[in-house]
Amino acid sequence: MIDDIARLRAAGIENINIDLIAGLPHQTLESWNLSLSHVIDSGVPHVSVYMLEIDEDSRLGRELIAGGTRYHAHFVPDEDVTADLYEIACERLDNAGVRHTKFKFARTGHESRHNLKYWHVSPISIRSRCAFHAASQSWMKAENQKGGVP
């Protein structure tokens, strides 16, 4: 990741976002804190932090419900651990000057205007979000049925 960020910066790209997902299989408090340290040390202005949501109709979801081991289901942290990891990210990023803005974290002066227009509450943005959500759910369901989305 550090090398990739260095290449982007060498190309003149400074406004970089890193996405983190809490609750991945094999994720531990130690690995999460290491990831957060790398992100903070990188100095990127935007960080998105998500908690893994597993659809019970997905392959991983069905495996979790069955108590199986395929897809490393038995290594997925439980919801409480995932929530704890998210809270740790909130605290550490805030302490590092990467402030929580509605749905993302950003360093002062680097708040995402692009995302704010989608999350600004207005009848148009609400309809846009709902339409996008409905369309993406339909696509994911179709791909899942074809075996294209795990």
By CB atoms closer than 10 A (0-12, 13-18, 19+), residue 120 is exposed
Collect all residues with Cβ–Cβ distance below 8 Å to 134 and sequence separation of at least 6. none
pLDDT the model gives residue 103: 52
pLDDT the model gives residue 130: 40
Which residues are 51's β-sheet partners?
A: 22
User: Can you tell me whether residue 58 is helix, strand or coil?
Assistant: coil
User: Can you tell me whether residue 22 is helix, strand or coil?
Assistant: strand
**Residues 32, 22: contact at Cβ < 8 Å?**
yes
Note down pLDDT in tens along the chain; length 150 residues. 888 999 999 999 988 889 899 999 999 999 999 999 999 999 998 888 999 888 888 898 898 889 888 888 888 999 999 999 999 999 999 999 988 765 566 667 666 555 554 444 444 433 333 444 444 444 445 555 555 544
Q: How far is CA 81 from CA 13, 55, 64, 145, in A?
A: 35, 18, 16, 30
Long-range contacts of 60-66 (CB under 8 A, 24+ apart): 60/150
Question: Strand order of the sheet with strand 104-107?
Answer: 17-22, 46-51, 104-107, 98-101
